[in-house]
Amino acid sequence: MEKCNENWFSDWFNTSYYHLLYQDRDESEANFFIENLIHYLNPKLDAKILDLACGKGRHSLIINELGYVVTGIDLSNNSIDEAKKNENEKLNFAVHDMREAFEPDSFDYVFNLFTSFGYFNDSIDNQKVLDAVAENLTSNGWFVLDFLNSVKVVNGLVPFEEKEIGGVHFNISKTFENNVIRKKIEFTDQGRDYSFTEQVTAFSKKELEQLFKNSQLEIMDCFGNYKLEEFKKENSDRLIIIAKKAF
């Protein structure tokens, strides 16, 4: 299998085409999930929350509107430039690599939402993300990972689809090989051909449990959708893990 460019995320996420392709993400679903999550966690109003791999900050904004102090970090300069337009006294954004600690021992909660994990070719880098999460957390701080349910995604993988958005015709192919789900996005715009790749390691629940343990993150609960219902391996839409810093 051809290896993906190890920095594919900085190349692709920094383009306007990435935001064009995903412009119709469901905002009501995002609001619904955040409200359920906050109700479940019940953070104090002075809690500090880190939105890890925040993109343009849509989740950060929702959390902030509920009254919390939120910092969003992402590797994409373009996404953070857009997110910064919404900054206020209790909402800030910064460009940062999630494999490195941002502000050690500073956050009561770290959220990593909408499958923003498992991007790296090297498994050590994925572990570094969780190590950094633990370092960012205060003692007994909480971590929420909102990941795909790899079993359901792989079983329902659509090999090819086409989308016409904003005058751009996207050809999208998906493969699963060596435990990696890969999406290739090809299109032509203004006479120029483009090709980008997304990838995510198809971690199972058991594999994630081991990664969490390695980073001293103790799993407290696990859910299978944004209603926070029980996780079921074969048919849950999501794999949402709630963990606590164990040191």
Name 65's Cβ contacts closer than 8 Å, sequence gap at least 6.
none
67 and 169 in one domain? Answer: no
pLDDT given for residue 2 in this prediction: 47
Q: According to the model, what pLDDT value does residue 1 have?
A: 41
- Quote the pLDDT of residue 26: 63
CA–CA gap between residue 55 and residue 76 (Å, rounded): 7
Contact 29, 226 (CB under 8 A): yes
**Which range of residues forms the domain containing residue 71?**
8-148+204-245
What is the pTM for the complete model shown?
A: 0.93
**pLDDT, tens digit (0-9, with 9 covering 90-100), for 136-166:** 999 999 999 999 999 999 999 999 999 999 9
Same domain, 142 and 157: no
Q: What is the rounded CA–CA span in Å between residue 51 and residue 109? A: 9
The residues of the chain scoring below 50 in pLDDT are 1-3
Domains of the chain: total: 2
Half-sphere exposure at residue 155, Cβ-oriented, CA atoms within 13 angstroms: 10
Residues 57 and 123 both lie in one domain: yes
Terminal Cα distance for the chain, rounded = 40
Q: What is the pLDDT of residue 6?
A: 66
Q: Whose CA is closest to 182, among 154, 156, 211?
A: 154
74 and 161 assigned to the same domain: no
Which residues 6+ apart lie within 8 Å of 225 measured at CB? 236, 237, 238, 240
Quote the CA–CA distance of 69 and 74 in Å, as a whole number.
Answer: 17
Do residues 144 and 157 both lie within one domain?
Answer: no
